[in-house]
Structure 1
Amino acid sequence: MTEPRNDREYTRGKPFEAGNPGKPKGARSRATVAAEALLNGEAEKLTRTAIDKALEGDSVALRLCLERLVPPRKDSPITIDLPPITTAGDVVSASAAVLTAVGAGEISPDEAGRVMALLTAHKNIVETGDLERRIAALEVK
């Protein structure tokens, strides 16, 4: 059995050398290539058949056609009453309003998490503006 090579000249100086670069961009998987080979020239017929079945009232075909035309929304707007947020301290009352809405079942915890992330980002912007004003006031003195 050979000993692993662990000398400085062999291991040093190659920290950013690429390992396995993987597939090139645009390369298709075997399954995709096989499906395209099977459907070669039949895509139009299949599409037309699905549309005809949907028009005849086939609910599965109708759902498939509609999902292609109008994909389901991953995100929907929510309505929640928040107080105006002009200072970093206002974020506390706004986050309390979000937690109250979750407790009342008005919004889901997932939606609340997204709103809280927005509140945090807005708080950071407000704090940055406050710091900028304070620094400008100190520079004037």
Structure 2
Amino acid sequence: MGRQQAGRFQKGRSGNPRGRPKGARNAATIACERLLDGQAAALTQKAIQMALSGDNVALRLCLDRICPPRKDRPTMFHLPPITSARAAADLMAAVTEAVAAGHITPGEAGEIGKLIDVYVKAYQTAELDDRIARVEQLSDAELMHIAAGGLTDAVSTQRPQKLMLLNSR
């Protein structure tokens, strides 16, 4: 079976190699369900009666079921288009200012920052895809000319400014 003499299993070998069967339920959960089976309405009514008679714990329980605490709230704000790394940095600066002014919480700012990060990555991926598509449309002669240090008119007009700066020495 894979046990050592001390009663423990050998490394890498389990006593139940197939694991827990799908759909198997915890025995304690099943026992609780059997105890409460058919009593849910009566227990709910009792909790309501206790809450109405002034039991604060029962009141909190009832209110949490009626109106559960919100995990987050909708945050409405204008999100300008992100068309460059500078625009993303400016947007993050505005989010930081909103936290400092108390308009949004630091947690909300963190979530907004994640959204901006994902958007920037998607924008960069789309921009890279566009660049690759433009290069793939070039003829072999144009590619050889670029490799030799020259630019074709089609490429020089389509290249983003930041790439032009990399080649200007």
TM-score normalised to structure 2 length? 0.58
Structure 2 counterparts to residues 96-135 of structure 1, below 5 A = 96-135=93-132
Cα contact 1:50–1:65 (8 A) shared by 2: yes
Task: Give 1:89's aligned amino acid.
Answer: R
* Structure 2 Cα separation of the partners of residues 108 and 23 of structure 1: 44
Which structure: larger Rg? 2
1:67 Cα deviation (Å)? 2.2
- Where relative contact order (Cα < 8 A, 6+ residues apart) is larger, the structure is 1
Cα contact 1:80–1:98 (8 A) shared by 2: no
Q: Which runs of 5+ in 1 are unaligned?
A: 5-10
1:29 Cα deviation (Å)? 5.6
1:68 Cα deviation (Å)? 2.0
Match of 1:83 in 2: 80
1:84 Cα deviation (Å)? 2.5
Task: Give 1:43's aligned amino acid.
Answer: A
Q: CA RMSD in A?
A: 3.3
Match of 1:47 in 2: 44
Q: Which runs of 5+ in 2 are unaligned?
A: 5-9, 139-169
* Structure 1 Cα separation of the partners of residues 81 and 50 of structure 2: 52
Q: How many residues align?
A: 127
Greater alpha carbon shift after TM alignment, 99-108 vs 60-69: 60-69
What are the superposed Cα offsets for residues 102-129 of structure 1, whole Å, 9 maximum, x if unpaired? 2222212111111111100000000011
Distance 1:131 1:57, change over 3 A: farther
Task: Give 1:67's aligned amino acid.
Answer: D
Task: Report percent identity of matched pairs.
Answer: 43
* Structure 2 Cα separation of the partners of residues 88 and 40 of structure 1: 59
Match of 1:27 in 2: 25
What are the superposed Cα offsets for residues 65-102 of structure 1, whole Å, 9 maximum, x if unpaired? 33224432211112344432233431111111111112
